[in-house]
Structure 1
Amino acid sequence: MSEEQHQPSTVAAATPADHIVGEELLVDSSTDSDSTFGDAVDSTTTSLASSVTNYRYEHGRRYHGIEDGRYSLPNDEAEVDRLNLQHRVWEIALNGHLYVAPIDHDSLNEVLDVGCGTGVWCIEFADAHPGVQVLGTDLSPIQPHNVPANCQFIVDDANDDWVYGERFDFIHTRTLLLGVKDWKKVMKQAFDSLKPGGWIELHEFHIPIACDDGSAGPDSAAMKWGNSMYEGFQKFGVDSMATAKFREYLAEAGFGDIRETHTKFPLGPWPRGDKEKAMGALFQKDIGDNLHGLSVKTLTQGLGWSTEEVESFLPQAKADMYNPQIHTYFPIDIFWARKPR
């Protein structure tokens, strides 16, 4: 990303964007303890049609059965747990807010969450806005049965043509990066699916991971993991650094009032600050404890590693992520923009 793109934008007073975790993480040298934030993960079961549950099983994990190769991460119960845990990291980072755009609550009628995963964001948004219809879409039907009456889930691929029409007041995406091959198309379709004056908001990490203080050198297992994953995603046609072009794509699609801010999700409770420690402990568990499921397909099918090479390497990368002397993090980019009236 260019330096200009990494500068946090100026946001209007009293918006949630003023209260997210800042971009700077300071190492806490006073303790190496592993603080925790609690275990708030609940497994869920799907309420969608069985016709889309023709799953594939590889490397001991379950994957979606829609259009092979579109998405490289699992969709089984372990992944459901991981995604719900990850939602808590975002919850801490945003101080309990579900979005940062200055949307007008009184004008909200329909909201779309693209790539909704377990549906937890949709459910919480629907609970908070009972008069708003919330639609969540995802490749996999892993959402729960019991949802608010104003919340609905459908199986859909964000890469395909959208057929919603100009109906939504707010469109949200989070960690959709690994499932999208053409962000320009997605943003244009989002623009066409928003009513005039509606907002889009995109919350994304990017890979490779980073380290600011040199505690993880370029030859460390953690940094090798990040770089290898980036290369593997490229083989699948996915750019895990695509956020560098989000402002450009949003403008090309027709959006105005484009804003952005940036933060970091630490891999471990190594930073100073209670909030940062809580985020780091959860995110360490989210990524480190699920490294095999997150990595095996990308490294084997994307880069051609043998199963033996993967099984030998991943414990080394996990050890780095759990080493309190190594201070790595995922860069996080948040964009929000408005369709002109």
Structure 2
Amino acid sequence: MGECPVSPRSVRPSVPLNVGARPARPPSWPKASQPTDVNRARRLPVPAHNSNYLENGRYYHGYRRGIYQYPCDEPEKDRMDIYHKLFSVARRDMLHQAPVPHSGETRILDLGTGTGIWAIDMADKFLNAEVLGLDLVNIQPERIPPNLRFRVPRDYESPWSLGEDSWDLIHLRMACGSVTSWPELYQKVFSHLKPGSGWIEHVEIDMQPRCDDGTLDPKGKLVQWYGYLADATWRVSRPIAYDHRTRQNLQAAGFIDIQETVIRVPYNSWPNDPHQKDIGRWYNLGITEGLDALSFAPLTRVYQWDLNAHVKPLLEGVRKEICNRKIHAYNNIHIWTARRPQQ
């Protein structure tokens, strides 16, 4: 039976389904051989200033337009905060796994801070620490802890001027879809951590649909949607697909003590386990309310799809599948921690 999202206001991975083969295209999906897919996405008219602009009924920020493919409006801020709650539930209220010193000149950096909710919680927990959040767009609250600052607009793939060898923890979460080169970003993080004691903590959701019992149709809307989204974001060099080379990339950057934690994230409350059921309720809310935000820009800009003729009907089918408790599908959260060595 279906499961309807409710407003927040009122592990071990299996073998994934094969989504490498593209499903049948709607008539307007351009051929893969056409080189204009990426160029069209990059040649959209650019506003004369950095103010937000309306596209497909959602507001996007004008700063370096096209770098970030997702909205910056009130529904998107709600989605970010829902996902923060999801991570809190999935991690049993753990804000972080990497060690953070409670004394001394502790410095914590949050890359892609979004609404700043994680940074705010960390600033409240570590009252003597300096906490800094970076983001492309100013959607953070004005009232914040005194030991917290935000720097916006800031693109963390651009050169930093934040002090090398000086951070105890550098955190990033849900960055897939925003990063062009993980090796370069990890190297930048490495050089800014304190030698011997600085840690990176990187948290991602692998959005590739998984199912262990055959209840998910490999030709259904959910699998199709993920295939389209992964391809569209790959074409603009910011793939939303989880990078399975994370361990190798961290090692190549020089990190040691590399640890990975994987948590299963059901699409809804289908599991019998109470904790998994609770995770599923929050993930269902986050992803059903976030489908438009994730999909509108990649699918209309890259494929030139019509929003009403192609995108919205596809997303309606996806919502039905992820709310169906007879479909036992899930994603995985990956939590990576690693330390910069002394030498």
**TM-score with structure 1 setting the length:** 0.83
**Counterpart Cα distance in 1 of 2:318 and 2:296:** 13
2:294 aligned residue? 294
Within a 5 Å distance, the mapping from 1:268-283 to structure 2 comes to 268-283=268-283
Q: Within 5 Å, which residues of 2 pair with 1:259-338? A: 259-307=259-307, 308-338=309-339
- Cα deviations by residue, 1:187-246 (Å, 9 ceiling, x for unpaired): 111011111110000001123222222211211111111111111111121233343111
* Percent of aligned pairs sharing the same letter: 33
* Unpaired segments ≥5 residues, structure 2: 11-47
Q: Shift of the alpha carbon at 1:97?
A: 0.8
Separation in 2, partners of 1:87, 1:125:
13
Which one-letter code corresponds to 2:140 in the other structure? Q
CA distance in 1, matches of 2:6, 2:295: 25
Q: Which residue of 1 aligns with 2:222?
A: 222
Specify the alignment match of 2:94 in structure 1.
Answer: 97
Partner of residue 108, structure 2: 111
- Residue 276 of structure 1 and its aligned partner are, at CA, apart by 1.4
1:259 CA drift (Å): 1.0
Distance 1:35 1:133 in 2: 41
Contact kept in structure 2, 1:208 and 1:229, CA below 8 Å: no
Contact 2:2/2:320, CA 8 A, preserved across alignment:
no
Shifted more, 102-111 versus 301-310: the winner is 102-111
Gaps of 5+ in 1: 1-31, 42-50
Tell me, in whole angstroms, the C-alpha distance in 2 between the residues paired with 1:296 and 1:39. Answer: 23
Cα 1:142/1:280, change in 2 over 3 Å: same
Counterpart for residue 167 of structure 2:
168
Structure 1 distance, partners of 2:341, 2:6, is 41
Q: Is this contact kept in 1: 2:178–2:239, CA < 8 A? A: no
CA deviations 1:95-124 (Å, max 9, x no partner) are 111011233333561100000111000000
- Change in Cα spacing, 1:204 to 1:61, as seen in structure 2 (3 Å) is same
Check whether the contact 2:107–2:129 (CA below 8 A) recurs between aligned residues. yes
Structure 1, residues 119-141: CA drift from partner, whole Å, max 9, x if none? 00000000011000100011111
For 1:225 and 1:33, locate their aligned partners in 2 and report how far apart those are by CA, in whole Å. Answer: 19
Per-residue CA distance 1:144-202 (angstroms, 9 max, x = gap): 01100001111211111122122211101110111111111111110111111100000
Please say which of residues 180-189 and 106-115 is displaced more in the overlay: 106-115
Per-residue deviation, residues 275-326 of structure 1 (Å, max 9, x unmatched): 2112111111111123122211111112332221112211111111111111
Q: Which one of the candidate residues 52, 66, 75 is aligned to 1:69?
A: 66
* Alignment partner of 1:81 out of 72, 78, 81: 78
In the alignment, the residues of structure 2 paired with residue 131 and residue 82 of structure 1 have an alpha-carbon distance, to the nearest angstrom, of 30
Match in the other structure for 1:147: 144
Residue of structure 1 equivalent to 2:236: 236
SS of the equivalent of 2:198 reads strand
SS at match of 1:332: strand
Q: Which moved more, 1:255-264 or 1:112-121?
A: 255-264
Contact persistence 1:209–1:223 (CA under 8 A) = yes
User: What residue number does 2:40 align with?
Assistant: none
Kindly provide the amino acid, as one letter, of the partner of residue 171 in structure 2: H
Separation (CA, whole Å) in 2 of partners of 1:214 and 1:236: 33
Query: Does 186-195 or 305-314 show the bigger shift?
Result: 305-314
Q: Give secondary structure in 2 for the equivalent of 1:265.
A: strand
Greater Cα offset, 243-252 or 88-97: 243-252
